Chain A
């Protein structure tokens, strides 16, 4: 195919360019072109939520957005949330509450929760449950995931306070 064109965007704070066909999804571009393989593909039809990434602050399905549509956007993937040496509050809470087992769905849940709590740091349990209902996890039974996100809310409130000051 010769229809590949360059697309420019920001990923986890750094400028990136990928040269992809129009049909290439954002998830595939992140994984295959930028080797950001933390974003996983669980169904490629928008149901499982494993590929969820944050585009301009909104959690979206990486498999249902074309890479070309990301031109000029700011993208955050799981790799941008924290590092193994410096886990974010959300990641620490996931570890503390055993909110992951195989770890395959985890990236999409972390990005969804991060986008939600950034927007709604006071989200209650019902709201968290409703939002995370779009992420399938086959290992944990979800309860520890909800508990971890509930616990991490406080860190997002602190961020909001700092921003306000």
Chain B
């Protein structure tokens, strides 16, 4: 394993250059979907009940309205898995006779303005004969529960089990067995830009351009065309500036299908902008899981075996393209985390309920399983009477490649090193002293550590292992130096805030000797970009970065060959730098711009030895690479109110070679902030009738400036052979580790009370209720 520090000897990679994306965005010149004018504005009429049968729909006279009967020729959204007893269920674009969750679209009305569309939608009357809704997954599993979809048994849509041979034999040898029963409540990714779509019909070609807030433009095109039964050449999908996604904009929105259908019908432009209430009740949710986890430890605190049972509430439908298997199956494969455990027996089920469908959200299951696994490790540390970090030290993997009990292959990482650095940087011993003094004064400080891996940049084999009918993986980059001498990289990834244009320009710049400011990275347009999978799963820097590097290497080779013609020198004696080719040790040079001009306009001078043009393609489909990190949270719990104050957060992150440290830090900061929100604040709450009580941003609570403490960040750079740029992904890690660290810190703070907070979010109400149940609160509300 190699751990090294900054300075890889290259020019652009490793530098915090300013983002190329920013000038437009800080001046209000960004272009977001909702900014586009349209002839017709759509408003969806959504179900106000969670389960029932539609009896009648009445619209005002002459209103423009679409209902399921107009869409009879459309196929339902029906993603598929070929493994794990997956039951394929279809989601109609508009509810067809049956409604399955509050917020499901029943009709679409359209009018010349948003206001008027809303006025009409208000007048649409829907009669529904209400059924008994299933809200909690455990209720849906109960014997005799009604079925959300008739084809499932006990509402189980997907079920996986991994059991290593001889598990029971190992289990019997345990010195101690610890148990965690954890609950992760439902959350919403809450990008600041809600979903929006705009479909414009072109009368001359019959094509439609769908502009929408998606993380996956090509998949959106494929899905919409499959559903409508039209050629993909008849649809262009554009993702312009996208205001955050965090996974919520990865899945196909049925609303976009409706927009394209309606634009074709009206031969006009139609648009829809989701309002915040729709986003909170009817876009996508996540993280709604019940997890049972048991760990068997030997005398030395070494984890011998893990036994788990995971129930993920996936809502009323299965999202496209990943399917709702994404949460339960991610949990099943990755539950053991970064710990060396050879015996594993786990069952994981996705259960359907009358709630908003689940879709990936930053970290996908790993924020939940990391929190649960770290609770187990903390409980074990307490049982052994040692520091939680000492227990982790005895169990973290440290030999690579490491093949896990579930068959995952971990490439080089720094699991122990990052934790040791974190212990030192936070000064654990000093904290323990401070904690003791505070406790004696009636103040409850706590520290929590989370060590975890983040599987990133995985290609098609990893997705194929899940049995996905649609297997994401590769990325392609078309790299062109045009006759003007400027560079254009057209990519299949679809960044939406990550600064990927800048990072890729840095990678390309080092290879071809042209500064990043002259390199335009083009994405989010199916007419201009190669078929690609978009941006999700911490993949784009690894995959599009790798593809960019491959394409740039080819361009470099060609430029050197051309330069050797111009400069009459051997290619190996030539360097490319600052826009020119130089013969090493001489003052002879030629500009790349003039060579580019020649590549198109003076091809005869190469006498057929060099092909005309200056475009190369790079495609990259690696097996994947694991980033890792150690997160540390320090909190203070107010035992009278249950409030948690974040005092400090510290991250030691290893995401391989850092291309742009400023951008990398931003990803970690943002992820940690979301993780803190997940841990303490954010919860979608249904009442027993299936109505959502948290449908405003005054009820569903993302953190503000006040809830985010100082975040201290350190990097370790382990260079992996699994990524040709040596960069690993890091888009999700912040959100994966932070909830575990925060909840661990809360439990550490409250250890004198002998309680365990095993719920996320750990709200003041829950903490105070647990404190009350401990019977150990100081009497009369008075602090000791």
Contacts and interface: CB of A to CB of B under 8 A. Distances in A.
Nearest to A148: B26
Contacts of B666: 98, 101, 139-140, 144
A140 B704 CA distance: 11
Contacts of A110: 26
A79 B35 CA distance: 14
Nearest to A78: B28
Interface residues of B, number: 56
A28 B51 CA distance: 35
Interface string B1-39: 000000000000000001101111111111110110100
A37 B32 contact: yes
A141 interface: yes
A150 to B, nearest CB: 12
B192 A83 contact: no
Given A41-B34, A139-B497, A142-B705, A100 B25 contact: yes
B663 interface: yes
A124 B670 CA distance: 23
Contacts of A95: 18-19, 22-23, 26
A56 B445 CA distance: 46
B241 interface: yes
Interface stretch (B125-133, B151-159, B694-702, B746-754): B694-702
A102 B711 contact: no
Interface in A141-163: 141-146
Given A102-B243, A136-B697, A42 B192 contact: yes
Contacts of A136: 192, 697, 702, 704
B705 A132 contact: yes
Interface string A118-138: 000000000001101111111
B672 interface: yes
B665 interface: yes
A43 interface: yes
Size class of the contact patch on chain A: 35 or more
Contacts, number: 172
B406 to A, nearest CB: 32
A129 B705 contact: yes
Given A38-B29, A141-B672, A43 B276 contact: yes
Q: Is the interface of A mostly helix, strand, loop or mixed?
A: loop
B705 A146 contact: yes
B19 A98 contact: yes
A19 B666 CA distance: 42
A37 B28 contact: yes
A52 interface: no
B275 interface: yes
B244 to A, nearest CB: 4
Interface in A43-57: 43-45, 47-48, 50
A23 interface: yes
A84 B704 contact: no
19 contacts: A23-B115, A42-B194, A43-B276, A78-B27, A95-B23, A98-B662, A98-B665, A102-B192, A102-B243, A102-B497, A105-B192, A132-B705, A133-B704, A134-B704, A137-B192, A138-B674, A138-B702, A140-B669, A141-B708
Interface of B: 18-19, 21-32, 34-35, 37, 115-116, 190-194, 241-244, 246, 273, 275-276, 496-499, 662-663, 665-666, 669-674, 696-698, 702, 704-706, 708, 710-711
Give the top 9 A-B pairs by smallest Cβ distance, nearest first.
Answer: A38-B28, A104-B243, A102-B497, A103-B25, A141-B673, A78-B28, A141-B669, A37-B35, A101-B497
Given A37-B31, A133-B704, A140-B669, 9 more contacts: A1-B116, A48-B192, A79-B27, A96-B18, A98-B663, A140-B666, A140-B670, A144-B669, A145-B705
